A and B are shown apart, each in its own frame.
Chain A
Amino acid sequence: EAGVVQSPRYKIIEKKQPVAFWCNPISGHNTLYWYRQNLGQGPELLIRYENEEAVDDSQLPKDRFSAERLKGVDSTLKIQPAELGDSAVYLCASRAGAGGAGTQYFGPGTRLTVL
């Protein structure tokens, strides 16, 4: 079974440029997460989807970040414009079903460097 797929794995951009990350969750997983992980820290949730609905986006900086999950499968996270402080690893995770139980499976992440 394929795991969570993310692309690109690495991205280097100049500040004020736009950037987009893509995630393909494990087949059949209803719940999809985007996290940001700063160096030396644990991941922090940005947004959670149940199917195509964003059920928790309270931590997403909506002035510059946006996300979508069309058809409840793949998801895209966008930053426009990027700032120096956005440099981090962006992780996508998925989980079967809804509610509180179950293991989250993580992708390898996209390492973003903003110059």
Chain B
Amino acid sequence: KQEVTQIPAALSVPEGENLVLNCSFTDSAIYNLQWFRQDPGKGLTSLLLIQSSQREQTSGRLNASLDKSSGRSTLYIAASQPGDSATYLCAVRDNDMRFGAGTRLTVKP
């Protein structure tokens, strides 16, 4: 059974810092990997989708990489802002979508 792990569970950084969130998964037979953002009391918003044949995707200050063979993905956030504060979830899609528990990010002004 696919297991998805996210490290760290929580992260607090000062505004302007660059940061990296980590995601690992146990079974490399995936269709894609997706990073989501979840604000308190809200649903999930898709940030980046990386297909299994791709190595990375970029959107604005966000860059996500995928190393399928090692079962790892990273989400890089450049020049962090207080508005980036949220929980970030990664999910891998094999037959279903399996989520990690998330990293709760706080960016302090």
Contacts and interface: CB of A to CB of B under 8 A. Distances in A.
Interface of A: 4, 33, 40-45, 48, 56, 91, 93, 100-101, 103-109, 111
B46 interface: yes
A100 B32 contact: yes
A43 B95 contact: no
B100 A42 contact: yes
Interface string B5-32: 0000000000000000000000000011
Question: Nearest 5 pairs between A and B by C-beta?
Answer: A42-B99, A100-B31, A106-B43, A106-B44, A108-B43
A106 B91 CA distance: 13
A108 B51 contact: no
In this complex, the member of B45, B96, B97 whose beta carbon has the largest number of chain A beta carbons within 10 angstroms is: B97
B38 to A, nearest CB: 9
Contact of B46 (A33, A40, A41, A103): A103
A101 B43 contact: no
Contact of B34 (A41, A48, A103, A108): A103
B93 to A, nearest CB: 6
Contacts of A109: 42-43
Contacts, number: 51
Given A56-B96, A100-B32, A42 B43 contact: no
A97 to B, nearest CB: 12
A48 B102 CA distance: 22
B91 A42 contact: yes
Interface string B68-92: 0000000000000000000001010
Contacts of A45: 96-98
Question: Most chain-B Cβ atoms within 10 A of its Cβ — which of A33, A43, A103?
Answer: A43
Given A48-B96, A100-B32, A42 B46 contact: no
B88 to A, nearest CB: 11
B101 A41 contact: yes
Contacts of B32: 100-101
